Structure 1
Amino acid sequence: MTVDTGKTVVVFGGSGFLGRYVTQALAKRGHRIVVACRRPDLAYHLQIAGNIGAIMPIQANLRYPWSVERAVKGADHVINLVGILAESGKQSFDSLQAKGARLIAEAARQEGVNMTQISAIGADPSSNSKYARSKAAGEQAVFEARPDAYVLRPSIIFGPEDEFFNRFAGMSRLSPALPLLGGGKTKFQPIYVADVAEAVAKTVDGEVDGGKVYELGGPEVLTFRQMMEEMLRIIDRKRRFVTIPFSLAGTMANYMQYVPGAPLTPDQVKQLQNDNVVSQEAIDDGRSLEAFGIRPATIDAILPTYLVRFRPQGQFTRPTRHAGGLDPENQDGLV
Structure 2
Amino acid sequence: MLTMARTASPAHGSGARRRRKSLVPASPALYLLPAVLVAAALSVYPLIELVRMAFSAVGPTDLIGDWEFLGIENFREVLADELFWESVRATALLTAGLIASNLILGYLGAMALKRRGRLASGVLALTVFVWALPPLVSGSVWKFMLSGDGVVNSVLALVGVGPVSWLSSPDLALGSVTFVTAWAALPFAILVIRGGLLGISPEVLEAAAIDGAGAIRTTVSVILPLLRPTFGVLLILTVLHSFRSFDFVFVMTSGGPGTVTNTLPFFAYTTAFTSFDFGVGSTIAALAMLIITVLAVPYVLGVRKEENQ
Q: TM-score range by the shorter chain?
A: under 0.3
The two structures have a TM-score, normalised by structure 1, of 0.21
Greater RCO (CA < 8 Å, at least 6 residues apart) = 2
Q: Greater helix percent: which structure?
A: 2
Tell which structure's C-alpha radius of gyration is larger: 2
